[in-house]
Structure 1
Amino acid sequence: MAKAKKGDRVSIDFIGKLNDGSIFDTTFDDGQCEEDHCESGPMELTLGDGEFFQEIEDALIGMSPGEKKVVKISAESAFGDYDDDKVFTVSRDEIPGDMVPEVGQELELTTEDDEIEIVTVLEVTDDSVTFDANHPLIGEDLTYEIELVEIL
């Protein structure tokens, strides 16, 4: 049976879990995921191109279709440490009038470079809104259950 190697385009299914067992991401469309960030259907990637976590791409090398593995990714390798510099406050004058931010809400903001950045609202006052641009899973160890579906 064929085995995946670096440079192969592959299709995989996965379930991503936190240490408490909660599912934060999955390719299975079965209602398991507790977040809005879940895929639907197998994910395709090219091994070695850095499209997914390196630990997962490395684990896929040598696998055959139908084979499954569990891969653990440390917080440092996943999204790193919390960065206080990614917390910023914006004057209410700079917020569009139709936007009503609420604490805990995730929003997409456009940066000065026209890039989309996901932020979480930390604080809302009459004069300002404080945002956190750190990834929501910062500081979390991740566990992925992966299955190589197909070598494309």
Structure 2
Amino acid sequence: MKIENDCVVSIHYTLTDEQGEVLDSSIDAEPLKYLAGAGNIIPGLENALVGCVVGDKKSVTVPPADGYGEYIDELVQTLPRESFAGIEKIEVGMEFQAQTEAGGEQFVVVKEVTEEGISIDGNHELAGMVLNFDVTVEEVREATAEELDHGHVH
């Protein structure tokens, strides 16, 4: 069976940056499973795997636009400490869920803590990066009605 929309795919992958540093891998762990066509993984990788079958090995380079997006400087800002009222200790690396001006929610990461304020970054940690995947297709099967209804693998 070939990878196409509405099938469940299991892959092993290793993700590296442009310098070859390993950023993530499923090797020595469970394979990544996703519902093809449901937006469960980044578009650049998903599109490159369409038509592959079990046993296929593929190297895929994903530009930022087809990965986690370009890095947006405006998503980095320094807020006054009062914005974090009720939180005793704030440290670099802490993650918070913030409300956007449009009323939505966005995850932010603390990048710097100074006397002047708290610097946060709303970009995904892989935003702006070219991503290199080495992938092996482990399994391809038809999705169940429930998986299709829910939009993810069960």
Tell me the TM-score normalized by structure 1: 0.78
Q: What is the distance in 1 between the residues matched to 2:106 and 2:25?
A: 23
Question: Is 1:150 equivalent to 2:139 in the alignment?
Answer: yes
Question: Is 1:124 equivalent to 2:123 in the alignment?
Answer: no
- Whether the aligned pair in 2 keeps the contact of 1:106 and 1:118 (CA below 8 Å) is no
> Which 5+ residue runs of structure 1 have no aligned equivalent?
30-39
Alignment of 1:32-111 (within 5 A): 40-95=29-84, 96-101=86-91, 105-111=92-98
- Aligned residue for 1:57, secondary structure, equals helix
Q: CA shift at 1:79, angstroms?
A: 2.5
Q: What is the distance in 2 between the residues matched to 1:138 and 1:4?
A: 27
Q: Which AA in structure 1 matches 2:68?
A: F
* 1:137 counterpart residue number: 126
* 2:7 counterpart residue number: 8
Query: Percent identity at matched positions?
Result: 27
- Whether the aligned pair in 1 keeps the contact of 2:44 and 2:67 (CA below 8 Å) is no
Q: What is the distance in 1 between the residues matched to 2:48 and 2:69?
A: 21
Higher relative contact order (CA 8 A, sep 6+): 2
> Which 5+ residue runs of structure 2 have no aligned equivalent?
142-154
- Whether the aligned pair in 1 keeps the contact of 2:56 and 2:136 (CA below 8 Å) is yes
Q: CA shift at 1:134, angstroms?
A: 1.5
Q: CA shift at 1:19, angstroms?
A: 0.7
